[in-house]
Every structure is written in C-alpha cells, then in structure tokens.
C-alpha cells in the first residue's frame, strides 16, 4: 500500500488540521481561573472529552457550538465554579478562534494538487466555514455532524460519507481516512474497511487529551506526527 494509491483524502478537522486543544484551553481560561485548585492542561482536556462525548451521545442532533455551551456548563458544575449561560454560549462561539496547526495550510495546498480533499467533522456548518477560512483551501466536499444528525464515532457518519463519495464515483479502496483521533475516527474507519492515516499530533504529550481512550488500538496503515510528515512521505512515494 502506497500513499499515491488513493484518490481521496477524507479528513477529520479538529485535532488534525485545527489545533482544537490549544483553542479549547485558551477559551476555557476565564472559567479555569475561577477554580479552587490548579487544573493541568490535560485535566482540563480530559474532563472536556468526558462531557463532550456523553453530550454527543445524548443529543446527537444538537449543533456543535450549542453542544459546547452545555459542555462548558458541565465543566463549571464539575469544578464547583459559578458561571453564567452567557459565558457558556461565548465558549461555544470560540470555535472561530481556534488556530490551525502551523503546517496545515501549506500541507493542504500541496495535497490539493494530488487528491480530492474531503472533510468529515463533528462540527456545525457555520463553525466549520469560519475554520475553513483559516485553512485556506477549497475542500471538494464537507460532511458535518449537523448534516448527518449524529457525531463520530457513530457509524452513521461514515455510512453517510461513503455513500456520498460512492455517488461521485469513488470506492472505499480509493479513500484514505486521515485523522488524529483513534476514538472518533480510526476505530470506525477500521469497521468500514477504510485505509487509515494517523496524524499523531499528541505524540510528544502521550495520552488522549480532548478525545476519549478508544480502549484498544485500531489498525493504522500510515502514521505521521504532522501533516508536514504526510507531505514529505507523499513526495517520496510519488517522486514529486
């Protein structure tokens, strides 16, 4: 299996292309500053993952920005902090401020010359549009949780994406699913027989940060610690 065997790269966005952990940590600072004890970055992210994952299961049709507001409220309750709903809503709107990883823009510009680029993201359309401005590339298709009515790792999201791509003439064997989260993406991609590329952004920190522990490690076909690493490997494989 080679990187230049594929015609489509399907991407998770947040955690893979957009540095959501830095964005979350920054946007949660007003809340964290009111905590009665010091909370480490990983404590914050892991608590966020717990509340987000449960909320996505409980209210799968809720728009992501609105779901984040509920997560903010639950974090305040867990940490015994007084917080207003307006503050929670402001956190939900912070997605627009989450930065891209330093290598995302250049990597996507390069990959666009060689592949169809597709987004499969646990986000709402308005929020993704704001993030997409930062990424600077025209994706060939964008499939969001808002479109589908559920959140990854639900199989519905992958079924929806694969059917839409099949209608455009692409089979599973032509698709490489590219993501950081083992929990949200790689386990389900394995279930559907998709080839996978792990952009292991958290390789230096260890743990799972803002995503849940998948329990077992899924099969991975390609692993890189950055999008830049993926580009370098493609250049080598294709001689470009």
Active-site residue, 12 included: yes
Are 38 and 204 contacting, i.e. CB atoms less than 8 angstroms apart? no
Q: Is 102 helix (H, G, I), strand (E, B) or coil?
A: coil
CB-based burial, 97-110: b 16+ in 10 Å, e otherwise: ebebbebbbebbeb
How far from chain centre, in Å, is Cα 148? 16
Strand ranges (E), the chain: 8-11, 116-121, 141-144, 175-179, 195-199, 222-224
Q: Are the C-beta atoms of 56 and 146 separated by less than 8 Å?
A: no
Q: First vs last Cα of the chain: how many Å apart?
A: 18
- Name the pairing type of β-strands 8-11 and 195-199: unpaired
Q: State the catalytic residue, choosing from 4, 5, 12, 97.
A: 12
Sole residue written with tokens 């003439």: 169
Tally of CA atoms within 13 A in the half-sphere of 197 that contains its CB: 26
Q: Are 8 and 176 in contact (CB under 8 A)?
A: yes
Task: Tabulate helix, strand, coil % of the chain (nearest 5).
Answer: 50, 10, 35
Active site residues: 12
């Amino acid at each position: 299996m080679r990187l230049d065997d594929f015609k489509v790269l399907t991407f998770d966005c947040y955690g893979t292309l957009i540095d959501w952990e830095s964005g979350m940590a920054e946007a949660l600072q007003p809340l964290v500053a009111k905590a009665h004890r010091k909370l480490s970055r990983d404590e914050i992210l892991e608590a966020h993952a717990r509340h987000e994952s449960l909320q996505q299961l409980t209210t799968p049709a809720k728009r992501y920005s609105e779901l984040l507001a509920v997560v903010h409220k639950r974090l305040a309750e867990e940490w015994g902090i007084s917080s207003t709903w307006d503050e929670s809503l402001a956190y939900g709107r912070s997605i627009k401020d989450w930065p891209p990883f330093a290598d995302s823009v250049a990597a996507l510009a390069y990959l666009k010359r060689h592949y169809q680029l597709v987004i499969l993201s646990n986000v709402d359309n308005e929020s993704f549009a704001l993030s997409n401005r930062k990424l600077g590339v025209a994706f060939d298709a964008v499939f969001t949780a808002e479109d589908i009515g559920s959140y990854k790792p639900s199989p519905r999201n992958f079924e929806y994406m694969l059917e839409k791509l099949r209608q455009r003439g692409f089979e599973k064997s032509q698709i490489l699913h590219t993501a950081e989260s083992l929990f949200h993406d790689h386990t389900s991609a394995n279930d559907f027989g998709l080839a996978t590329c792990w952009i292991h952004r958290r390789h230096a920190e260890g743990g799972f940060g803002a995503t849940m522990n998948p329990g077992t490690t899924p099969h991975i076909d390609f692993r890189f610690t950055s999008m830049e690493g993926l580009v370098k490997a493609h250049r080598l494989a294709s001689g470009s």
